[in-house]
Structure 1
Amino acid sequence: MCLNELTIQEDVIETKYSIQLVSKLSGVGVHTIRAWEKRYQAVVPSRSDSGRREYNDTDLEKLVLLNQLCTLGHSIGKIANNEIPVLKEMLEKLGKVEDKTEKTESVELDYNLENSLSNMILGISAYKLDIVDHELNKIKLLTNTREIVVKILVPLLQKVGSLIQRRELTLSQEIAFHSLLKFHLGEIIFKSRKKNQSLEKIIIATPEGCFEEIPLLLSTLLMISKNFEIIYLGTNVQAGALLEATKATDASAVLLYLGPHSELDSASYYKKFIQFLDKKLEGDTRLYALKSHKIDQIESSFSKTHLVDNLRELDKKVVL
């Protein structure tokens, strides 16, 4: 099941987040979100036809603000019904809205990427997730999302992969680490993403049947660093839905992650999926496909598609 869906009406696209995804992005636990809704009507989302909660960007922004204020000592019961401008004003009075230029300079100059990576590798090797969590909290302050991916997260995941291969991490430990990483990546993306009509839009997703999300989140951070406006569809997206979203948003590019798939012949499945999009995408819309090393080589010639084998190659290939 996709983590978020799209409502498309009259050529307007609105992102709808599930409660699981809005929890990851806001930092507020799923049970807490439900409790705040029931007790205080803090954020009351719309509902799908099946009764599932569907949150929009305004709901997400309010949850982020409420979480920040509660962390600073406010009682949720006293602030839950305030509007977003009031919540922002409260944060300003607490000195939490800073000059972005000054903050960027101090963080970028003082932060040591190599030390942070070393600390996280030590934390993973000893399975001390509190160390990893602490370092991930620090990198949220960085504004260069490309450096976060290339200099910290890619080497960290390579180390985790080697530990798994040597069976020095159990399956449950791997799942716990990935859950922690996805939580922090969601927050970094929410903080860093740009919305501007002048920016080119890129749709990011995995094809139907692919549920691996971390490479997709890392790709999203890279695209933010290239000044794209991100339209994140998440995992398990049908080809038809991708085409419809591309037309509705006038996106100039689509980025797919081709990860492990339920089909026995994943390469053949992905080849057909890409061939369909390559023929149907209109105008100058580009398609980038990041292939997992677990997928066999996809042999074919495409007119609009750029196949890449790793994030560094993707970084070089995507140029506005």
Structure 2
Amino acid sequence: MNVKTQFSIKDLEHLSGIKAHTIRIWEKRYNLLTPQRTDTNIRHYDIDNLKRLLNVTFLYNEGHKISKIANLSEADIQELVESIAINQQDEIAIKDFKSAMFDFDEALFQKTYNTLLATKTFRHVFFNVFIPLLNEIGILWQTSTIDPCHESFISELLKRKLIVAIEQEEQVIENSNDPLFVLFLPYNEIHEMGLLYSNYELKAAGYKTLYFGANTPLESLKTIQNSNKEVIFVTYITIQPEGKDILDYLHEFQETTCNNTSATLWLQGAKPQKIKASQVPPNTHIIKNLQDFITKLEGLRTK
């Protein structure tokens, strides 16, 4: 598969948030970008133009006049961006992660991440950088602005950081009266990031977890009940689970896994949010978002 290295002006609009009409004005009036043109006179832009526009957009959004920015050299633009970075670290990180994605630059990704973690908690980085970045990438992917390989590259790097953070929170837990948390995804559910982060918060809070990840059959979860008194299952659903209506899946889960037990299910993701409270099976709790998950987790300690 050919990796996308040339971008249309519409791509630049999606990536920068600056309207195509404005980009054309900047280009014509200030020579801000240097596009190439096809035989039919259609503009297309390379990665260097894209990265320049991301830096210019950041400065423009910070209140700098475009006429002043256009007169700066590349080195001066970069220096100005870095001087602002101290107070706008999250926004700079998102910009740099996007640049790393397009250049497949793992070194830039690592440098940006290490800079963040030097002054921020992992929770802060996840909520204020990773989530906005993933949301933006999702839109870029849906509009065909980026290739699937770009999305895969950055997503796998983010996932690796999550896994390392989880490992750093590992604790030896003995004779605990706390519930056991079992984390899993139904068949065909590919959005694992939210479940991984739930595991991170559970580990950080000192809970014992079993992480089964993707494509977990319901039948296999039943065996967990044999050796554990209290179990809380945690899953994340953004698409139709296993090709079933979500309520059918939840009732099947109830019959297969929770029947005649005290087990409960914490349900996260976009799909469950559409379920009416009156339709939710017993022992099933819908979690609105990851912040709600943290709040619910903290509430267990106060019971």
TM-score (norm 2): 0.57
Counterpart CA distance in 2 for 1:152 and 1:113 is: 14
Percent identity of equivalent pairs: 18
- The aligned runs of 1:40-55 (5 Å cut-off) are none
Evaluate the alpha carbon distance shift between residue 281 and residue 163 of structure 1 in structure 2; reply closer, same or farther with a 3 A threshold: farther
Instruction: Work out whether 1:205 is the aligned partner of 2:184.
Output: yes
Q: Tell me the residue number matched to 2:292.
A: 313
Give the C-alpha shift of residue 217 in structure 1. 0.9
- The aligned runs of 1:101-140 (5 Å cut-off) are 115-116=89-90, 118-124=92-98, 127-128=102-103, 129-130=105-106, 131-137=108-114
RMSD: 3.3
Q: Tell me the residue number matched to 1:165.
A: 142
Instruction: Work out whether 1:292 is the aligned partner of 2:267.
Output: no
Give the C-alpha shift of residue 120 in structure 1. 3.1
- Please say if residues 97 and 112 of structure 2, whose CA atoms lie closer than 8 Å, have aligned partners that are also in contact: no
Match of 1:187 among 164, 174, 177: 164
The structure that is helix-richer by fraction is: 2
The structure that is strand-richer by fraction is: 1
Instruction: String of CA shifts for 1:120-157, please: whole Å, max 9, x gaps.
Output: 33331562443323333456678955334323322222
- Please say if residues 278 and 305 of structure 1, whose CA atoms lie closer than 8 Å, have aligned partners that are also in contact: no
Equivalent pairs, count: 208
Counterpart CA distance in 2 for 1:266 and 1:249 is: 30
- Please say if residues 194 and 230 of structure 1, whose CA atoms lie closer than 8 Å, have aligned partners that are also in contact: no
Instruction: String of CA shifts for 1:206-231, please: whole Å, max 9, x gaps.
Output: 12343432221122122233332221
Counterpart CA distance in 1 for 2:207 and 2:121 is: 14
Q: Tell me the residue number matched to 2:67.
A: none
Q: Please identify the structure whose Cα radius of gyration is greater.
A: 2
Evaluate the alpha carbon distance shift between residue 149 and residue 173 of structure 1 in structure 2; reply closer, same or farther with a 3 A threshold: same
Counterpart CA distance in 2 for 1:209 and 1:222 is: 24
- Please say if residues 289 and 306 of structure 1, whose CA atoms lie closer than 8 Å, have aligned partners that are also in contact: yes
Q: Tell me the residue number matched to 1:220.
A: 199
Evaluate the alpha carbon distance shift between residue 296 and residue 200 of structure 1 in structure 2; reply closer, same or farther with a 3 A threshold: closer
Match of 2:213 among 222, 227, 234: 234
Evaluate the alpha carbon distance shift between residue 209 and residue 289 of structure 1 in structure 2; reply closer, same or farther with a 3 A threshold: same
Counterpart CA distance in 2 for 1:304 and 1:141 is: 41
Counterpart CA distance in 2 for 1:194 and 1:141 is: 23
The gaps in structure 1 that reach 5 residues or longer are 1-111
Evaluate the alpha carbon distance shift between residue 121 and residue 149 of structure 1 in structure 2; reply closer, same or farther with a 3 A threshold: same
TM-score (norm 1): 0.55
Counterpart CA distance in 1 for 2:265 and 2:252 is: 12
- Please say if residues 191 and 238 of structure 2, whose CA atoms lie closer than 8 Å, have aligned partners that are also in contact: yes
Counterpart CA distance in 2 for 1:210 and 1:115 is: 33
Q: Tell me the residue number matched to 1:149.
A: 126
Larger RCO (CA within 8 A; separation ≥ 6): 1
For 2:274, the aligned partner's letter is Q
